[in-house]
Amino acid sequence: MNFDKELDARGLNCPLPILRAKKALAEMQTGQVLKIISTDPGSVKDFVAFAKQTGNELLSSGENNKEFEFFMKRK
Amino acid sequence: MGATPEIAVIDDLINKRLDELLPQKLESLLQAREDSKTPSMAIIATRGTLDWAYPPFILGSTAAALGWDVSIFFTFYGLNLLKKDVSDLKVSPLGNPGMPMKMPFGPQWFKGINWNIPNLIQAGVPGFETVATALMQKTIANNGVATIEELRSLSQEADVKFIACQMTVELFGFSHDDFISGVDYAGAATFLPVAQTADVALFM
């Protein structure tokens, strides 16, 4: 999937991946896509909730070799 | 002068129709208001230990990231969380049976051992708390968990409001210079109206 910015949240734990993602999205334009890589298993549910609350769209969420990958579109 | 029979019939019809329409109308108006409202949270932080420093800052910073308005009111020992230097926050395993005592180094089997140390020893050995705190800090770093300082500054960046209880500042002989900048000083009368309209109010 195409993306405009990448956030490496590997090794970070709750709530840092969410806080970093929020910061990254704030610096982006509407419609741009942020790719997030995390190793925190809790972030899978947290990014769904984050998207629902903030209105930024979670385009996809997947696991690859114990790493989680999210694509989020800026509101 | 009473209503004529025709008007009474019309009134009756209007009333019936209103009974049908109003609930739907109100429902959608209330829903729209609910949707447009910014959620808010008010927290009272009363503890000044390393472990209890986490909940207010984790929830505060996360709620702010979700777009909520957040106020944290620091009172009593919670004031320690606002000190310029929070590196001296301690955790005590004494009288805290829920706290696992595990080593943050060595092979996996060793890390897995939960050291069951009697309260009497914990209380009697000088520096036990300092050692336990150092182990906790190491565990926090090993697990990629943020430091209190980091979460606190992230909270401030995200416009979480910090309010310190002026009464306890004086009670404990602190001065405003002891604390980070960006803190408001106020009392219970300031906190209560904030909590009144908050969707989530928590005491920690």
Summarised one tens digit per residue, pLDDT across range A14-43 is: 898 999 999 999 999 999 999 999 999 889
Partnered with residue B171 across adjacent β-strands are none
Residue B106 to residue A63: CA distance in whole angstroms: 30
**Crossing angle for the helix pair B50-65 and B128-142, to the nearest 10 degrees:** 30
Does B23 lie in the same domain as B123?
Answer: no
pLDDT at residue B1 is higher than 70: no
Does B103 lie in the same domain as B24?
Answer: no
CATH code, A5-73: 3.30.110.40
Residue B184 to residue B197: CA distance in whole angstroms: 19
Tell me, what's the pLDDT at B185? 92
Question: Considering only CB atoms, which chain B residues are within 8 Å of A49?
Answer: 66
Q: What is the DSSP letter of B165?
A: E
Name the pLDDT band for B113 (thresholds 50, 70, 90).
confident
ipTM: 0.79
List, for residues B64-89, the tens digit of each pLDDT value.
Answer: 999 899 999 999 999 999 999 988 88
Q: What percent of chain B has pLDDT over 70?
A: 99
Tell me, what's the pLDDT at B139? 85
The single residue listed with the structure tokens 């734990």 is A13
Mean pLDDT of chain B: 89
Number of domains, chain B:
2
Mark whether A14 is an active-site residue.
Answer: yes
Per the CB < 8 A criterion, the answer to whether B110 and B103 are in contact is yes
Q: Which residues of B touch A (CB under 8 A)?
A: 58, 61-62, 65-67, 143-146, 151, 154, 158
Q: What CATH number is given to the structural domain containing B58? A: 3.40.1260.10
List, for residues B163-179, the tens digit of each pLDDT value.
Answer: 999 999 999 999 999 99
Does B81 lie in the same domain as B6?
Answer: no
Is A50 within 8 Å of B66 when comparing Cβ atoms? yes
Size of interface A-B (CB pairs under 8 A): 37
Does B18 lie in the same domain as B100?
Answer: no
Which of left, alpha, beta for B127 (phi over 0: left; psi -120 to 50: alpha)?
left
Closest-approach residue (CA) in chain A for B147: A16
Does B141 lie in the same domain as B92?
Answer: yes
pLDDT at residue B58 is higher than 80: yes
Using CA atoms, how far residue B136 sits from B50, B74, B102, B146, B188, in Å, is: 9, 23, 9, 13, 34
Overall average pLDDT of the A46-52 stretch = 92
Tell me, what's the pLDDT at B3? 64
Does B150 lie in the same domain as B121?
Answer: yes
Residue to substitute from A22, A40, A66, interface B, most B β-carbons within 10 A? A22
Does B71 lie in the same domain as B15?
Answer: no
Does B98 lie in the same domain as B11?
Answer: no
Q: If you count DSSP H runs as helices and E runs as strands, how many of each does chain B have, helices first?
A: 8, 5
Range of the domain at B7: 1-37
Residue A4 to residue A33: CA distance in whole angstroms: 5
Q: Which amino acid is at B16?
A: K
Does B44 lie in the same domain as B27?
Answer: no
Model pTM score: 0.80
